[in-house]
Each structure stands twice: as structure tokens, then as C-alpha cells.
Amino acid sequence: MTTEPVSEPATSSPGTTEAAPTAKSAKALAGEATRRRTFAVISHPDAGKSTLTEALALHAKMISEAGAVHGKAGRKSTVSDWMEMEKARGISVSSTALQFNYKSPETDPADEPNVINLVDTPGHSDFSEDTYRVLTAVDAAVMLIDAAKGLEPQTLKLFQVCRHRGIPVVTVINKWDRPGQSPLELLDEISNRIGLTPTPLYWPVGIAGDFRGLLRRGEDGAAQEYIRFTRTAGGAKIAPEEILDADAAAARDGDEWETAVEESELLSASGQDHDQEMFLAGQTSPVIFASAMLNFGVRQILDTLVTLAPAPGPRTDLKGQDRVVTDPFSAVVFKVQAGMDTAHRDRLAFMRIVSGVFERGMVVTHAQTGKPFTTKYAQTVFGRERSTVESAFPGDVVGLVNATALAPGHTLYTDKKVEFPPIPSFAPEHFSVLRAESASKYKQFRRAVEQLDSEGVVQILRNDLRGDASPVMAAVGPMQFEVVAARMKAEFSVEARMEGLPYQLARRTDAASEVELNRQRGVEVFTRSDGALLALVSDKWRLQYIQKEHPELTLEPLVATAD
């Protein structure tokens, strides 16, 4: 691969500075995997996902002050938002990976800290395909719900992806410092709408809008203690916690505490106490009430993930065999991103370590091409900050710099060949022609199109009629087109012009059907970058007509990954 030198921050990456276990020390390798927790946060836009991501980093002492402050005019960008578009709009439109060490105050001081790999996901439904890629790389998910709005469409869709992939889900009901629904109503909604039994580990003391603290429930649902929070200015610092027993809690917050105790007992009577086997089987979901903005309940989220979320385990390859964590090195690329470092204009391929030990500089094999691949420049990313990785273990997320041959779904390995299943694409629903405003910028335009296509920002379609100068972009949501325009201007100095196309559907077809389909009104056939032939159709009624009149033509639905 082509590489460029990259600056190396003074700080080292957590969990990667110790000497790597040798290939023979399977016990040490298994121990490293056991320490890891790799998860994603999924939510509807505006549920507070990026704020929670930042609050988790604050509690892990990776940052000294939260960047989210009250009021849109004064809002700072969160540590995981690096694109100018994200900072301007206050939403995440790309996935990023943060790694940090965390040690619960309740653990033995002699124990090693856990290594947290938090993969932040886009905060808008237009980027659900990027979120799906992230969910192929994690072992658990935090489902973040707005206390006032409850379950929303994007949350429901992403939960179905988790269920489909067998990913255990921890539910966090956020914004409890603001007026919202009653806690029991929210639990009923979760149970009724997604068929998941909520099993609260912590129950709120005080109604939504009057968040005083959390009742910690025992295995039998009994009240163990009262964790009372104290607000800090703007929620910029970790909220102080006061631990009270039941008698002290009743004396401090009498009626509110008694209501919380009664509701907790009601949950036990309904069978809503935590069961670890049912959680891992995807039948139940531990629930925590929190306010990410005020940093209330954030430590409890981290403690829950460390205690209950699964460590990295086996991954099934294309042959149906399990690749266990102690097998020789293997990894899956789930995300390719460029433009994160404007000083170097480099390209990062994020890979999830599946098995074995990764050591910087090792030569691995690229399963899709069979060619050797060197890994001289490997990094972990924390917002815009980077740290060079010397070694990494199963569950870790590592960025390979300028790995131009890699694409989402690719496999890297050592020793005997292994290849993991590819990551399917969502069926696009929006289509637009892309052109450079200036013919003099055509070379830069082509480079930009190739790069954004390889990253999976959009799918690029071409045919002979339109030519290379006018490729067609296919996307799940129209905001993806805005990202393309913004990045082409920022990274390639190319002003792009877009023209929407009157198509709503894409169907897979073949060469035998291509000629006849191109004769049909409201249909146009394109070749995607991976060689697949796609027929774009104006609407479902046109599709039904063609299928009825020409049943011999191939018009297959694309893979629906969210089903």
C-alpha cells in the first residue's frame, strides 16, 4: 500500500502499550479479549447520542470537560464530531471510533481496567447504512431513548438490525432531567412495540424533569441503595454522587423515594428483574435512566457495560466455521473514511480485530485479492486526535492509514486463509446526477468520486449514455448528497453540481434483461462500481407493470439489511 508519515501524539493508545502476547500464549490473549467491551450507541436523531458519547469519555477521564453546553448558539462540537458539517448542524453524519480505558470504582484496585471501544454512529436516518456497518463490528449496543418522545422510527429500525444480528441491547432512557413520560409508560412501550422485556437495573427517583438520583435494584428487584446526584455548572464536570441506604434515602427524599421503591417492587412482581442469559439471548434489555447533558447516570451505564455486556467472541466465516479469539490474526474492515485529518489528507480503513494479536508493521493477507498487505501506519482515533497503535487485540478497532485497497466488508488475516461474509448494502431510494462545475477540475472530480465511492458514502452508478463525466449517485437519504458536495469542496477544491433523477426504486438485473429494460419508459440501467447491474425505476406502479408485461426480465430486490 502507499503510505505517508503521520504525526504521532505524545499520548499512547489505551490498552495497546503493553507487550503483545506471543502466538503461543493463548491464555494471555484470551485475557486481553476478556477485558474488552466493544459497543455502539444507536438512537433517533436528537436523542442525545453524541452528548452521551462525550459524557462516557468524561467519566473515563479521557477529557476534562464536556463540550456540550446549553443553547445552540454556544454549543461546542462533541469529541466524536470532526466534520465541519457536523459541527455546524450539531448532528453526527459519520461514524467514528473512540477507545479508552475504564475502571469502575467498585472493582478491586488490583484489577486491570477494561478497554472500551465505543463506535459512534451517525445521528440521522439518511446514514443508516453507515450505522449498519458499525453494527457488524460490535458485540453490544446501547439503545438511547428520549424520555419525552419514547421509541421513534429510526430507533425501531436500528433495533431490528440488532435483533437480526443477535446483538444484546442495553436501554438508556435519556433526558430524564426534562419533562417526559412516566417510567412505567416507557417500559410498556418498549415491551409492546419491539417485544423486548425491559429489566431496569436503576430506577429514577423523581419524575421526568425532577431527576434527583437512581435507586439501584438488586437481583430480586429489592432497593439496594440510593445514588443521589448533584448538578454541576452546565453539566461540564462529572456530577458528584452521594450513596445513601434506604433509611437515609427516605429521610432525604421521602415521597419520591417511596414511589421509586413501590414501582421497583411492581417491576419484580411483573418478572422484570435482570436475567443474564435472557439478556445475552436478546430477550431482555437492562434499563438505566440518565441525563447525558448533566452527567447523571453515566457511570452506571459504563459499569453495566463492563459487568454485563459480552466480551469479544467467535465470528463465523464464509465457510460457516467459527473464528475464535485465540486463532491467528484476522480482522474485518467495516468503515473507510477520508478527510479526518486535513493536514495529511489521508484515508483510514477501520478494522475490527476478530482474532489473534495485531502488531504494527506486520504483513497480513488481503482475502479479497490474495495479496500481502503491510500495516506500518496503524492508529486509534479519539475525535481528531490520533495515537499510533503498536499492538491490538480482539475487540479493538484500529485505523489503517492510506489503505487504498481496502473497502467495507474486506478481511485481513495471517496463517491459513479466512474470509468473513461481506457487508450487504441498503437499497438506495434517492438518485442524483453529479457533475463538476468546472471542466478544468475534471481530474480532481474523478479522484473525489472514486474516493467517496470506495468509502461507501454513496453508491456510484454509470452507463454509456451519461458517461464518466456525469455519474449517478444512489443513496439511502438525500443528506448523503450534501456530504458529497461538502467533502468534494473541502478536500478536493471541486464545486459539484447535482441534478435529481425521477427514480424511486433500484432492482438488480442482468445483461440478458438490460436491452429490453432500457427500452421501457421510466427505467434506466446502470453498472455499479462492484459490477452489479441495477435498473432504476420511476415508481412501484411502473415496476409492477413491467413485471406483469415482461415476467422474463430479471428485477430482483436488493438486499434489505434492516429486515
111 is annotated as contributing to ligand binding: no
In DSSP terms, 150 is beta-bridged to 146
Q: Residue type for 49, please?
A: K
Q: How far apart are CA 528 and CA 533, in angstroms?
A: 6
Strands 36-43 and 114-120: parallel
- 15 is an annotated ligand-binding site residue: no
Closest CA to 330 of 341, 316, 343, 342: 316
Q: What is the helix, strand, coil percentage profile of the chain, to 5?
A: 30, 30, 45
Q: What's the chain's length in residues?
A: 563
Pairing label, strands 140-146, 36-43: parallel
Residue 124 known to bind ligand: yes
Residues 558, 155: Cα–Cα separation, whole Å: 22
Tell whether 90 is in a known binding site.
no
Q: Which of 102, 135, 143, 106 is nearest to 119 (CA)?
A: 135
Neighbours of 518 (CB within 10 A): 13
SS3 per-residue string spanning 289-353: ECECCCCECHHHHHHHHHHHCCCCCCEECCCCCEECCCCCCEEEEEEEEECCCCCCCCEEEEEEE
Phi and psi, residue 360, nearest 5°: -60, 135
Query: What is the DSSP annotation of 401-422?
Result: ET-TT--TT-EEESSS---PPP
Q: Is 120 annotated as a binding residue?
A: yes
Binding residues for GTP: 120-124
Binding residues: 120-124
